[in-house]
Structure 1
Amino acid sequence: MGQATAIAGHGAEIELFSDTLSCDVVLPARFDPGPAMAAQHAAESLLHGLAIAEDVRSDDNEERGELPQSMQRVEAKLDLILGVLGKLTRARADALPVRHARWSHRGLRLDLPATSGFSTGDSGVLLLQPADWLSDHIELPARVLAEMPGQDGHHHLWLRFGTLLPGLHDALERHLFRLHRRQIAEARRLR
């Protein structure tokens, strides 16, 4: 059985990603075990602000073409500044490590370079940066579903989200939908 088949048939993979929208992403993320004191209101606010910013900064070229050139220049400069700030933030010692992940509204699978040492059922907080141009992160309550060795010494860690506030749950679903839509658009451009 191949690695992809083993992952696809794993119970935690089915629980988190079966019959639901999911995205394969590379993003800064870390799971901290311990009391699940996630800042859900702050996460909801950040995701709402991100949605507004991304709607304004639409990747749709037709919409960008309607903006005056001066506004396009301001937007380009802002992109550069945010990129630099993001790099500076990631360079800090306490910055979140960049990981491959699969993400749905139910939870996340993190691909780690080594075993995590966590046990099934461990609770804690998942910290993740929802956008590469934004140096801030969100915190979500989570618990360990499973861990499995992967190829090349990597390990797969499945985390199920705890109970989310309704507003955060909705904001998270909208964010994942935008990520998914962007991935589909990018795949079409590459064809």
Structure 2
Amino acid sequence: MTSQSADLELFDDVLVHQDRRPAAFLPGPTNTAAAHVAAAHAEMLLTSLALSDNARSEDGDEHAEPSSALQRVEAKLDLVLGLLGTMLRDRGDLPPPTVLRWSTRGARIDVLGDALAIRPGARGTLRVQPADWLPDCIELPAHVIAAEGARVWIAFEPMAPTLADALERHLFRLHRKQVAESRRLR
């Protein structure tokens, strides 16, 4: 498959988000039981992120200021999560940051390291840190549909509708934040 047809298959007529974040494609067989556990973990993580983001945005929408005690607790929690994320990154538990373009159908990723080892047809897992402040990753079973140099196109294996919905909502929130940030910088 060509890179253009892979782009159409993964990103045509769906919400797409692109940024630089810790992500990697891990080639290898996926155990069905492990894939179900990873899918449940990904859904739980994305749902929890949505609840956390919604709570923070609702706090920001109120005319009343959040209490200073609540602001201090949130700041301390952000610091602890940042420290934990740094420790995990130093241990090598998080993938290195790379350019990632993804949708609910799949992803295009710039592979770091041995890109020649990842060929079309390879099966494995896309591992992504969904939020900068969260030192945890989601793992989505996938297979490579195209490769060009150090860039690969990965189609997700069929996922449960609840996971697909959680992923779509997450991508929408990332996209919305990116648009708001670009407007703020103008």
Query: Could you say whether these structures have the same fold, taking a TM-score greater than 0.5 normalized by the shorter chain as the test?
Result: yes
Aligned to 2:152: 157
Structure 1, residues 8-30: CA drift from partner, whole Å, max 9, x if none? x7111111111111111111112
User: Compared with structure 1, are the counterparts of its residues 118 and 190 closer, same or farther at alpha carbon in structure 2 (3 Å cutoff)?
Assistant: same
Aligned to 2:184: 189
What is the CA distance between 1:173 and its match in structure 2?
A: 0.5
User: Compared with structure 1, are the counterparts of its residues 63 and 109 closer, same or farther at alpha carbon in structure 2 (3 Å cutoff)?
Assistant: farther
Report if the CA contact (8 A) 2:98-2:109 is conserved.
yes
TM-score normalised to the size of structure 2?
Answer: 0.88
What is the CA distance between 1:63 and its match in structure 2?
A: 3.9
Structure 1, residues 104-123: CA drift from partner, whole Å, max 9, x if none? 11111111245241221111
Tell me the amino acid that sits aligned with residue 73 of structure 1. R
Aligned to 1:118: 118
Counterpart selection for 1:19 from 13, 29, 32: 13
What is the CA distance between 1:65 and its match in structure 2?
A: 5.5
Please show how residues 1-191 of structure 1 align to structure 2 within 5 Å. 10-37=4-31, 38=35, 39-58=38-57, 61-63=60-62, 66-114=65-113, 115-149=115-149, 155-191=150-186
Structure 1, residues 82-125: CA drift from partner, whole Å, max 9, x if none? 11111111111343121111011111111124524122111111
What is the CA distance between 1:34 and its match in structure 2?
A: 1.9
2:71 & 2:7 partners in 1: Cα distance? 42
Report if the CA contact (8 A) 1:106-1:161 is conserved.
yes
Report if the CA contact (8 A) 2:103-2:171 is conserved.
yes
Q: Which moved more, 1:95-104 or 1:166-175?
A: 95-104
2:63 & 2:97 partners in 1: Cα distance? 30
Task: Give the 3-state SS of the residue equivalent to 1:16 in structure 2.
Answer: helix
1:94 & 1:110 partners in 2: Cα distance? 19
Report if the CA contact (8 A) 1:29-1:98 is conserved.
yes
2:139 & 2:19 partners in 1: Cα distance? 17
Task: Give the 3-state SS of the residue equivalent to 1:57 in structure 2.
Answer: helix
Report if the CA contact (8 A) 1:143-1:161 is conserved.
yes
* Cα RMSD, aligned residues only: 2.0
Structure 1 runs (4+) deviating above 6 angstroms are: none
Name structure 2 gaps, 5 residues minimum. none
Q: How many residues align?
A: 179
Report if the CA contact (8 A) 2:94-2:135 is conserved.
no
2:101 & 2:82 partners in 1: Cα distance? 24
Task: Give the 3-state SS of the residue equivalent to 2:99 in structure 1.
Answer: strand
TM-score normalised to the size of structure 1?
Answer: 0.86
User: Compared with structure 1, are the counterparts of its residues 60 and 25 closer, same or farther at alpha carbon in structure 2 (3 Å cutoff)?
Assistant: farther
What is the CA distance between 1:61 and its match in structure 2?
A: 4.3
Tell me the amino acid that sits aligned with residue 96 of structure 1. P
What is the CA distance between 1:60 and its match in structure 2?
A: 7.5
